[in-house]
Amino acid sequence: MFAINDVICYGTQGVCTVMGTVKQKIGGAVQEYYVLKPYFEQNASVYVPLHNENLVRKMRPCLTAEEVGRVILLMAQTQGEWIEDDLDRKEQFGKITASGDVYELARMICNIHLHAVDRKEAGKNLHLADERAQKEAEKLLFEEFAYALGMQPKDILPYLLQQINDIRHADQ
């Protein structure tokens, strides 16, 4: 059970503040919902039905700064594994994004980035579907990193690139 003012991560919504619970009548039945306010988008509200274990299970504590460090280390060590089949890749990226697993999101972002570099060197652009998947994954991961590190999401990419560069140079 989460308490009012807990900051959590919720599925594909990202970092949210638990504002409380509310009873609402939807579809003829009164149900109780968590009311979540996206942390970096204060103009929205998300309602999660307390009776739906699958949705409540998607609510979890945010990463700590120490855990962010472990994810960044994983990103620095990612070598790049690419799924060649477009449909298989789209399905896999969708599953990873829906899961909210930060380690899988981090690997996915790195793999797309490394593939984009290869495509650019070949004079080609990244497929639009892959670019969209990367942006969605970055939004989720960067918001959580920003919350854990006391930063703004827009500042995470330069920070992340510097950290990964420092780790890779320290390993040489």
pLDDT in tens, 35-87: 999 999 878 999 999 999 999 999 999 999 999 999 999 999 888 789 999 99
Q: How far is it, in rounded angstroms, from Cα 120 to Cα 112?
A: 12
Global pTM reads: 0.88
pLDDT score, position 25: 85
Q: Do residues 159 and 169 make contact, with C-beta atoms less than 8 angstroms apart?
A: no
- Tell me the domains of the chain and their CATH numbers: 7-61 (2.40.10.170), 65-170 (1.20.58.1290)
